[in-house]
Amino acid sequence: MCGIVGYIGKKRAVDVILKGLSYLEYRGYDSAGIALISDNSARIFKAPGKLSNLKEILCLQKESDINATTGIGHTRWATHGLPTEINAHPHTCNCKSLTIVHNGIIENYKDLKPVLEKKGCKFLSQTDTEVAAHLIAHEFNETKDLLKAVQSAVKKLKGAYAFCVTHKSMPDRIIAARKNAPLIIGVGEGENFIASDIPAIIEYTKKAIYLSDNQVAEIKAESIKIYDENDNLIANKVENLPFEPIALSKMGYKHFMLKEIHEQPDVVRNVLVDKLHDEDTAVVLDDVQLTKDELEKINRIQIIACGTSLHAGLVGKYVFEELTGIPVDVEASSEYIYRNTIADENTLVIGISQSGETADTITAIKQAKDKNSHILIITNRKDSAMARLADSLLPINAGIEVSVAATKSYMAQLLSLYLLAIYFAENKNSKNSLIKDIKKELLTLPSKLEAILNDTKNIENIAKKYSSYKNFIFIARGINYPSALEGALKLKEISYINATGYPAGELKHGPIAMLDETMPVLAILNEGIVYDKVLSNCEEAKARQAKLIGVTNFIDEKHKNLFDDTVIIPEIKDIVSPALNIVVLQLLAYHISEYLGKDVDQPRNLAKSVTVE
């Protein structure tokens, strides 16, 4: 992961870079660093932990030490080496003339390191990046040309990288290179920018060049030159950026996560607008680029995604199979790759990703593309690498999601999958009355979500009551089994409580051995085909002294002696209920984490965008 920012122009580079990095902290926050280049000097400042620590260090510096107009900066998600100051970027060479910030993994760094050591390079950190610093410095010593040095070095690097390189003898340029990691060059007037993502530079320019894999760029204040993998100069393809300057405001909420949870009714309205008008009119999905004939030939669907997006995919499987009869496999992207997956031109491969940058999913999509399958991407970033691989692109329009824990993007993914499944069913001329029911439910979903969000006291009290437990089990069956997985993921990632989701029927096949009064069980029970079965599984848990929390839309006398605590959600058909149940689980996780005083928006060890495999 990691976020990088580069600036060259007339402004104080430190200001532009720090601001840019603040928009990239979602990519990692294990450490931050900056290199400021001027008049044959390269000043490096680094700090472990969040960007605020680096800012404190910079505040203590003399103005003359930080007034350079060229610089590069980095916010790190540790892959190789502890999140210490020594491992923080920028990295440098023996004589500290060259500096580099890097996002990605240099896979052959262990092969390159001893060779460089033999040539006299002294390594200070445990990072793979330092190898690239020494390698480029070595090439520079031969050529005295930074561009050529980078061009020659990248041919020796394996793996993924996006990096910016400077040399103190050339403060008028930054060299950038990219392979399998995002990097854009913001085009300004008398100034230029480099960044891992648009929010870092959108305040300054709306024009950018998306660097492609294996390209190297030489960026000066007045010029940008891009070279292909054969070192040939190519024409610049300047594109308009799709963003307005972003006001990253919590809008009065204590955390971004809480704000994003509360945005969900509007997110649903946004997804539905222009696509679902009423229960009697067919869903409109102009984004699907399949002809009716091609659509009819689709005989298999594969959904690939990671984390929360994977859980959305699991809900999608239930809906698709129910409405269309097409078999659907859902698989973690990291498991889909590096094996012979069975797909062909009649397979629809759906990639789901909030960021559109998740490395595992990108690799999986590329693998599916090679099998000539139609690639449909559901993402919150229509400018992302994944979006660019799509045959059909379904943007979810959830708005920027800042909190590392995904909430509103999950809601938008669910809604997009419901619409997609209905679209397929309607194009296959299914006259299923269920379709009408689902449409009706989707249209009333915003007000039902609002009903939950307007009164969260009960959930807050439950959160407080259970916050001291060290373990949790979430159970459900059928279409809410993915809700149990997602609820458990939310809780563990922001509170560090060990939480596991199980199909309720699986409890008796092993996990029940763990149950006693120290292990609360949260059960999701919706009125429907599996209701009684889940109720029986709850009885089994109760008989083992587990504390029981029920999340249900059904008021039942039987709950009284069974559940220690209950959350009642509005009436809803089972097939759409994951969209309501999840909000209860998001709020529960949020309030437990908040009560425990954890860093809700930036939990330890995580990053919003996982750009390494």
List the catalytic residue out of 2, 93, 121, 164.
Answer: 2
Q: What is d(CA 123, CA 129) in angstroms, rounded to the nearest whole number?
A: 11
| C-alpha neighbours within 13 Å on the C-beta side of residue 51 | 23
Q: Which is nearer to ligand M6R, 583 or 610 (CB)?
A: 610
The answer to the question of residue 581 lying near ligand M6R (CB under 6 A) is no
Stretch of 164-172, 240-248, 353-361, 556-564 contacting ligand M6R, by CB under 6 A: 353-361
CB of 405 to ligand M6R, least distance (A): 4
Q: Which listed range, 26-34, 47-55, 304-312, 362-370, lies at the site for ligand M6R (CB under 6 A)?
A: 304-312
What is each CA distance from 217 to 225, 233, 417, 472, 583, in whole angstroms? Answer: 6, 9, 39, 50, 45
The conformation of residue 25, written as its DSSP 8-state character, comes to G
Contacts of 221 (CB under 8 A, 6+ apart): 8, 9, 10, 69, 172, 190, 191, 192
Q: Are 217 and 224 in contact (CB under 8 A)?
A: yes
Is 2 one of the catalytic residues? Answer: yes
Give the Cα-Cα-Cα angle 76, 40, 48 (nearest 5 degrees).
20
Q: Does 353 interact with ligand M6R (rule: CB under 6 A)?
A: yes
Minimal distance, residue 453 CB to ligand M6R, in Å:
19
Size of the site for ligand M6R (CB under 6 A): 16
Residue showing tokens 């090439």? 139
Q: How far is the CB of 593 from ligand M6R (least distance, A)?
A: 12
Distances (CA, A) of 253 to 12, 113, 265, 601: 33, 48, 16, 12
Token pair of 345 as six digits: 């031109």
DSSP state of 502: E
537 binds ligand M6R (CB under 6 A): no
Measured between alpha carbons, how far is 601 from 589 in angstroms, rounded to an integer? 12
Binding test (CB under 6 A) with ligand M6R, winner from 215, 361, 416, 456: 361
- Classify the C-alpha dihedral 122-88-36-143 as positive or negative: positive
Rounded Cα gap, residues 98 and 70, in angstroms:
13
Shortest distance (Å) from residue 412 CB to ligand M6R: 11
To ligand M6R, the closest distance from the beta carbon of 606 in angstroms equals 6
Phi first, then psi: give them for residue 464, nearest 5 degrees. Answer: -65, -45
Q: Please choose, from the candidates 170, 163, 182, 243, the residue with its C-alpha nearest in 3D space to the C-alpha of residue 207.
A: 243
User: Where in 437-496 is the site for ligand M6R (CB under 6 A)?
Assistant: 489, 493
Q: Quote the least distance from Cβ 362 to ligand M6R, whole Å.
A: 9
- Name the segment binding ligand M6R (CB under 6 A); options: 111-119, 354-362, 390-398, 547-555: 354-362
Asked if 164 and 181 count as a contact pair (C-beta separation under 8 A), the reply is no
Looking only at residues 388 through 427 of this chain, which bind ligand M6R when binding is defined by CB under 6 A? 404-406
Among 306, 414, 584, 587, binds ligand M6R (CB under 6 A): 306
CA pair distance 481, 520, nearest whole angstrom: 17
State how far the Cα of 275 lies from the Cα of 443, in Å rounded to an integer: 11
Which residue in the list 168, 179, 448, 608 is annotated as catalytic? 608
354 belongs to the binding site for ligand M6R (CB under 6 A): yes
Q: The sheet that has 91-92: what strands, in order across it?
A: 91-92, 98-106, 159-167, 174-179, 215-219, 224-227, 233-234
Considering only residues 232 to 251 of the shown chain, the ones binding ligand M6R according to CB under 6 A are none
Q: Which of 75, 309, 347, 480 binds ligand M6R (CB under 6 A)?
A: 309
**Nearest residue to ligand M6R, scored by beta-carbon proximity:** 307
In the bound state with ligand M6R, the residue whose beta carbon lies nearer, of 353 and 537, is 353
Please choose, out of 106-114, 348-356, 523-531, 591-599, the segment that lies near ligand M6R by the rule CB under 6 A: 348-356
The nearer residue to ligand M6R, 99 or 379, going by C-beta atoms, is: 379
User: Which of 65, 216, 97 minimizes the C-alpha distance to 152?
Assistant: 216
Q: Fill in the amino acid letter for 152.
A: S
Where do we find the tokens 């709850």? 538
DSSP 436-480: HHHHHHHHHHHHHHHHHHT--HHHHHHHHHHTT-SEEEEEE-GGG
- Is residue 586 at the binding interface for ligand M6R, with CB under 6 A as the rule? no
CA 248, CA 290: separation in Å to the nearest integer?
A: 37
Least distance to ligand M6R, CB of residue 76, Å: 17
Of 358, 495, 581, 586, the one binding ligand M6R by CB under 6 A: 358
Nearer to ligand M6R by C-beta: 197 or 441? 197
Contact pick of 68, 200, 534, 610 for ligand M6R (by CB under 6 A): 610
Q: Shortest distance, CB of residue 159 to ligand M6R, whole angstroms?
A: 20
Instruction: Provide the b/e sequence for 27-64 (b: ≥16 CB within 10 Å).
Output: bbbbbbbbbbbbeeebbbbbbbebbebbbeebeeeeee
Q: Is 307 in the site for ligand M6R (CB under 6 A)?
A: yes
Cβ at position 313, least distance to ligand M6R in Å: 10
Assess 131 for contact with ligand M6R (CB under 6 A).
Answer: no
Contact flags string 491-520 toward ligand M6R, x per CB under 6 A: --x---------------------------
Orientation angle between helical segments 433-453 and 307-324, nearest 10 degrees: 150
Least distance in angstroms from the C-beta of 384 to ligand M6R = 9
Q: Taking the complex as a whole, how short is the minimal distance between the CB of residue 469 and ligand M6R, in angstroms?
A: 21
List residues with catalytic annotation: 2, 608
* Site residues (vs ligand M6R, CB under 6 A): 306-309, 353-355, 358, 361, 404-406, 489, 493, 606, 610
